[in-house]
Amino acid sequence: MTEHVEQLEFQAETHQLLELMIHSVYSNKDTFLRELISNASDALDKLRLASFQDKDLQVDTSDLHIELEVDKNERVLTVRDNGIGMSRAEVVDLIGTLAKSGTAQLRKQLAEAKSEASAEELIGQFGIGFYSTFMVADKVVLTTRKAGETTATRWEASSGSSTYAISDLDEAPQGTAVTLHLKPADEDDHLFDYTQEWKLREIVKKYSDFIAWPIRMSVERVVTEGEGEEKQEKTLVEEQTLNSQKALWTRPRSEVSEEEYKEFYKHVSHAWDEPLEIIPLKAEGTFEYQALLFLPSQAPFDLFTREHKRGVQLYVKRVFIMDNCEELMPEYLRFVKGVVDAQDLSLNVSREILQQDRQIQMIRKRLVKKVLSTVKDLQGAEDQSKYQTFWREFGRVLKEGLLSDFDNRETILQVSSFASTHSESEATTLAQYVERMPEGQDVIYYMTGESRDQIERSPHMEAFQAKGREVLILTDPVDEMWVGSVPEFDGKRFQSIAKGEVDLESEDEKKASEALREQQDKEFADLLTWLGNTLEDNIKEVRLTNRLTTSPACLVGDVFDFTPMLERMYRASGQELPVSKRILELNPAHPLVTGLREAYDQRKPDADEGKVPELTETAELLYGTAVLAEGGELKDPARFAQILTERLTRTL
Ligand code: ADP
Ligand code: MG
């Protein structure tokens, strides 16, 4: 008997994704079963854990298992588990919505996913677990009863519909059953008939052999009984376990095939990509543990959202204890997946205990070192493609470690790579940068900004381009943060080319230009004072510079000032910041600047009293173009446009 039937709309993105799934010919449909078994296995893990932790929970955990049931005539396949189950609210929340945290991202990618190939990539990136069933079924029914609850829930959806039905059930075994009404078997493609015993056997063996719980199926076996005349064929039904249940991380690496590792990776990470690198680890002695870690090859879509979970799983003596064990892996390595199985912890271990546990801290230390050394190995390899993939996908995350992991800062700097003016296409390591540094240069130059283009065209770059000095181009938001707090690499300070004064001249050049400098300082002294007063709402100082070759002016910060981008980041995150004024630097060789000086010298007294509006306007234009040249925003763009228009009109 069912009651309280509700017809609910799929979340728009879920429905869209579902449609995509149904119509895309994903190259490997078999994976739907891996996903269902993976979910069932998680549910069994959770139930066992709950029964440890909650003594009042009345559940039978004596025969936890997964079962496959086939009805050939009806073309129905059911995957059943007696695990934790779900409440009605959980079904709505977990099954009815998908990608809760990354919906905006998902929507964007869905809009772009026109081609078949991009659809596949999307499926890969979002790891569409439960919904992969719609690759093979046109109707899916899920019934579930949560451990400790009496009412069960039934969920049903059909392909093509934008709604699903959900209702209460009076009776259902504890756990979850997912029933697939399979699409008609493809006439000429028996390879995809999921009612065939051999097919199911093959998939389980291939994708789910390591699952710790027995995966059972009733199979028919024909036996011959009796002798001679009496001989008779009889069909027996017997239950068989399809998987070997061997925990992969306990087996020596030489005994485990690449394929097995790959499938295990997909199970623990809930992802569909391939692992980039497999890292088995073992410690024996007083404190024994085994770990099996993976570097993924593709960043999940929600890596930068707060909801992102699922790093390393903690097991104690083969028993699953928790997902995303933060105590084992720092935030900046949150992309690392896998399991750690510790032998000496209690099954009752809690987050609070873990935080205090010295052994856990030691494991974490070792895992971090191992992950970083693995990245270093990739970087040192002849074939750079793995390192490049790694850096493209996770470099931005790894760099967060520069701010939080002081012990490993040096290693993180070593394995990092950066865009630079040295090459359009190839990134550089800091060691390579240092090696190329010309004599006399003792700092590492960089500039932060929103894009390579913006940085390369900024006036600050001019003198560096003219002198052929290499500048690191830092465009990740995290770069803004770490460059301010990491003092040096290999004894060389990091110096922003948009901050402080630049000094690119050799001793000889300095001597040669000394006389000119002195003369310029004298000639421009009055103008600089006047400009400083006229623009005082916007800037804190005006000075001459030799960092410019073609632009008349640019803005720079003091060494400890926030950059405009960092200010924007803080403001965007809702923090109040005082308006910080910057320094206006002038190119004394530029005609606009010399022209302004001459005009000012001629009418000094009047200008000082503000009686020459054209001069004030020129000062504003000069300042405004400096703001625009570095990609900044004008405070009063209308006024700037108006002055400029008037000036242009006069030139016609
Ligand atoms: P994922 O496994 O990556 O979370 P899925 O789409 O496979 O994504 O499953 C969504 C969620 O639904 C799971 O996280 C789990 O909470 C719940 N779920 C799915 N199948 C089961 C099951 N057999 N038993 C209990 N909960 C389940
Ligand atoms: Mg899943």
Is the domain of 40 the same as that of 168? yes
Residue nearest ligand 1's atom 12 by CA: 94
**Residues 88/166, Cβ–Cβ less than 8 Å:** yes
The closest-lying atom of ligand 1 relative to the alpha carbon of residue 178 is 23
CA Rg, the chain, in Å?
33
Q: What's at 252, amino acid-wise?
A: P
- Residue showing tokens 């086939």: 70
Q: Compute the distance between CA of residue 64 and CA of residue 174 in angstroms, rounded to an integer.
A: 11
Same-domain status, 45 and 170: yes
C-alpha 607/C-alpha 388 separation (Å) is: 58
- Residue of the CA atom closest to atom 23 of ligand 1: 40
Closest ligand to Cα 271: 1
One DSSP character per residue, 137-155 reads EEEEEEEEE-TT-S-EEEE
Of 42, 164, 270, 337, the one to substitute when testing ligand 1's pocket (max ligand atoms within 8 A of C-beta) is 42
Q: What is the pLDDT of residue 648?
A: 93
Q: Is residue 410 part of a domain?
A: no
Q: Tokens 């009063």 label which residue?
A: 636
260/205 Cα distance (integer angstroms): 10
In-domain check, residue 504? no
Instruction: Please indicate whether residue 174, judged by its CB atom, sits closer than 6 Å to ligand 1.
Output: no
Shared domain for 321 and 444, answered yes or no, is no
3-class secondary-structure state, position 420: strand
How far, in Å, is the centroid of ligand 1 from the Cα of 282?
A: 30
Q: Please indicate, yes or no, whether residues 208 and 324 belong to a single structural domain of this protein.
A: no
Q: Would you give the distance in Å from CA 2 to the centre of its chain?
A: 43
Q: Is residue 485 located within the same domain as residue 520?
A: no
* Rounded Cα–Cα distance for residues 622 and 643 (Å): 11
Residues 200 and 145 grouped into a single domain:
yes
What pLDDT does residue 104 have? 66
Ligand 1: which residue has its CA nearest to atom 17? Answer: 94
pTM of the model: 0.79
Cα–Cα distance for residue pair 242/37, rounded to 1 Å: 12
Beta carbons of 221 and 238 less than 8 angstroms apart: yes
Question: Ligand 2 centre from 323 Cα, in Å?
Answer: 13
- Domain limit, last residue, from 238, 267, 299: 238
Give yes or no for a contact between 178 and 79, defined as CB atoms under 8 angstroms apart: yes
Write down the H helix ranges in 321-357: 351-356
Nearest atom (ligand 1) to Cα of 131: 6
Quick one: CA dihedral 119, 124, 125, 126, positive or negative?
positive
| 81 Cβ closer than 6 Å to some ligand 1 atom | yes
Nearest listed ligand to the Cα of residue 40: 1
Rounded to 10 deg, the angle between the 477-485 and 564-572 helix axes is 110
Nearest to 147 by CA among 79, 78, 65, 82: 82
Distance between Cα 266 and ligand 2 center (Å) = 10
Q: Is residue 311 part of a domain?
A: yes
By C-alpha distance, which of 151, 142, 169 is closest to 40? 142
Query: Which of 76, 99, 96 has its CA nearest to residue 86?
Result: 96
Which of 451, 469, 496 terminates a domain? The answer is 496
Alpha helices, DSSP H, located in 381-475:
385-398, 401-404, 409-415, 430-436, 452-457, 462-466
What residues contact residue 608 under an 8 Å CB cut-off, 6+ apart?
530
What pLDDT score was predicted for residue 605? 85
Tokens encoding 406? 């002081």
Instruction: Looking at the structure, tell me whether residues 209 and 323 fall in a common domain.
Output: no
Regarding the beta carbon of 270 and ligand 1, being less than 6 Å apart is answered: yes
Say which residues have a Cβ less than 8 Å from residue 64's Cβ, sequence separation at least 6.
Answer: 44, 47, 48, 81, 82, 83, 213
CATH number of the structural domain spanning residue 332: 3.30.230.80
Q: Of 230, 262, 264, 218, which is closest to residue 244 (Cα–Cα)?
A: 264
What is the per-residue burial (b if ≥16 Cβ within 10 Å, else e) of 523-547?
A: ebeebbebbeebbeebbebbebbbb
Tell me how many domains the chain contains: 4
481 shares its domain with 613: no
**Is residue 48 domain-shared with residue 161, that is, in the same domain?**
yes
Which tokens go with 142?
């899920």
Does the Cβ of 96 fall within 6 Å of ligand 1? no
Atom 14 of ligand 1: nearest residue by CA position: 94
353 and 475 share one domain:
no
> What local confidence, expressed as pLDDT, does residue 446 receive?
96
277 DSSP β-pair partners: 295
Query: Does 342 map to a domain?
Result: yes
Same domain, 492 and 516: no
Distance 45 CA to ligand 2 centre (A): 13
Residue 503 lies in a domain: no
| CATH code of the domain covering residue 624 | 1.20.120.790
Sequence-distant (6+) residues with CB within 8 A of 456 are 421, 473
Reading across the β-sheet that carries 488-489, which strands appear in turn?
423-428, 418-420, 472-474, 443-448, 492-496, 488-489
| Nearest by Cα to 159 from 194, 185, 189, 132 | 132
84 lines ligand 1 (CB under 6 A): yes
3 state DSSP class of 182: strand
Beta bridge partners of 339: 292, 313
Which of 451, 468, 496 marks a domain boundary? 496
Residue 187: give its domain's CATH number: 3.30.565.10
Please give the distance, rounded to the nearest whole angstrom, from the Cα atom of residue 135 to the centre of ligand 1: 17
| Rounded distance from Cα 91 to ligand 1 centre (Å) | 9
In order of 457, 463, 583, 589, the CA distances from 505 in angstroms are 22, 10, 21, 16
Q: Is the CB of 91 under 6 A from ligand 1?
A: no
Count other C-beta atoms under 10 Å from residue 191's C-beta. Answer: 11
Q: Is the distance from the beta carbon of residue 542 to the nearest atom of ligand 1 less than 6 Å?
A: no
Tokens of 608: 């000082």
pLDDT for residue 161: 83
In a domain, 61, yes or no: yes
In eight-state DSSP terms, residue 579 is P
- The strand pairing partners of 292, in sequence order, are 280, 339
Atom of ligand 1 nearest to the CA of 83: 24
For the beta carbon of residue 334, count every other beta carbon within 10 angstroms. Answer: 21
Range of the domain at 254: 248-388
Centre of ligand 1 to C-alpha 98, Å, is: 11
Question: Is 218 domain-assigned?
Answer: yes
301: in domain: yes
Ligand 1 mutation target, pool 90, 130, 154, 215, most atoms within 8 A of CB: 130
Q: How many CB atoms lie within 10 A of CB 481?
A: 17
Mention every residue, 6+ apart, whose C-beta is less than 8 A from residue 216.
65, 66, 67, 68, 239, 240, 241, 242
Query: Contact 428/420 with Cβ under 8 angstroms?
Result: yes
Cβ of 40 below 6 Å from ligand 1: yes
**Shared domain check, 188 and 43:** yes
Label the pairing between strands 215-225 and 232-241.
antiparallel
- CA distances from residue 98 to 12, 13, 25, 103, 131 in whole angstroms, order as listed: 10, 8, 21, 8, 9
Beta bridge partners of 239: 218
pLDDT < 50 regions, the chain: none
Q: What's 456's domain CATH number?
A: 3.40.50.11260
> Which numbered ligand comes closest to the C-alpha of 95?
1
Tokens 């719980």, residue? 213
